[in-house]
Structure 1
Amino acid sequence: MAIKKQYLKSKPVCKVTFSVAAEEAEAVSVVGNFNEWNAEATSLKKLKNGTFKGTVDLEKDAEYEFRYVVDGVYTNDDEADAYKWNDFAAAENGVLSL
């Protein structure tokens, strides 16, 4: 899994690219407080090499909690900036600091 951040000079926005190596998976999406935790809102596209990839524009100078949904199973990214406990899910969420 990987996260790439590209800050725009012209806008207070960061383009965040999420990559998940999941060759055997049918569907991967990224969910978080930036998309109301809606798995259908940010589906990642499967590339020929088996990696799922997608880009989201997020406001900079903010923190966002997120997780991946790989074939219905929630998982964290090893490259998250931090982790934060979530009582609702009884699990940790990854944190993006922009």
Structure 2
Amino acid sequence: MLQRTRREKQAEITFVLPAGHPAGPVSVVGDFNQWEPGLHPLVVRPDGSRAVTVTLPVDHHHRFRYLADGGHWLDEEEADGHDGHDNLLHT
């Protein structure tokens, strides 16, 4: 799930995964962090879901995916689109 807060010059995007799916550590990777695993790890919230918030400039297009333990890639159903490989996000 994506939660968005848009401000004048930046957007806060919160990437959220449900509790326990998938098991193990997960990070969001994309062109906004040079696809570097571990820079934006999802952290467990009180309800058991996991999330991380990333601040991005508004009116930009980004590509991202979730990277789970063991090198497993996950897609985001609520992304603004999919290109057959990456999730697409417009801020």
TM-score, normalised relative to structure 1: 0.83
Q: How many pairs were matched up?
A: 89
Unpaired runs of 5+ residues, structure 1, are 86-91
Unpaired runs of 5+ residues, structure 2, are none
Q: Does 1:15 align with 2:12?
A: yes
Structure with higher strand content = 1
RMSD across aligned positions (CA): 1.3
Letter matched to residue 18 of structure 2:
A
- Measured at CA, do residues 22 and 73 of structure 1 come closer, stay the same or move farther in structure 2, by a change above 3 Å? farther
Q: What do residues 51-93 of structure 1 show as CA deviations (whole Å, max 9, x unaligned)?
A: 11110000111000000012231111000001124xxxxxx10
1:36 maps to which of 34, 37, 54: 34
Structure with higher helix content = 2
Q: What stretches of structure 1 move > 3 A for 4+ residues in a row? A: none
Post-superposition offset of 1:8: 1.4
* C-alpha distance in 1 between matches for 2:6 and 2:45: 24
TM-score, normalised relative to structure 2: 0.89
Between the aligned residues of both structures, percent identity stands at 30
Post-superposition offset of 1:22: 4.3
Superposed, 1:1-98 pairs within 5 Å as 2-9=1-8, 12-23=9-20, 25-71=23-69, 72-85=71-84, 92-98=85-91
Post-superposition offset of 1:48: 3.9
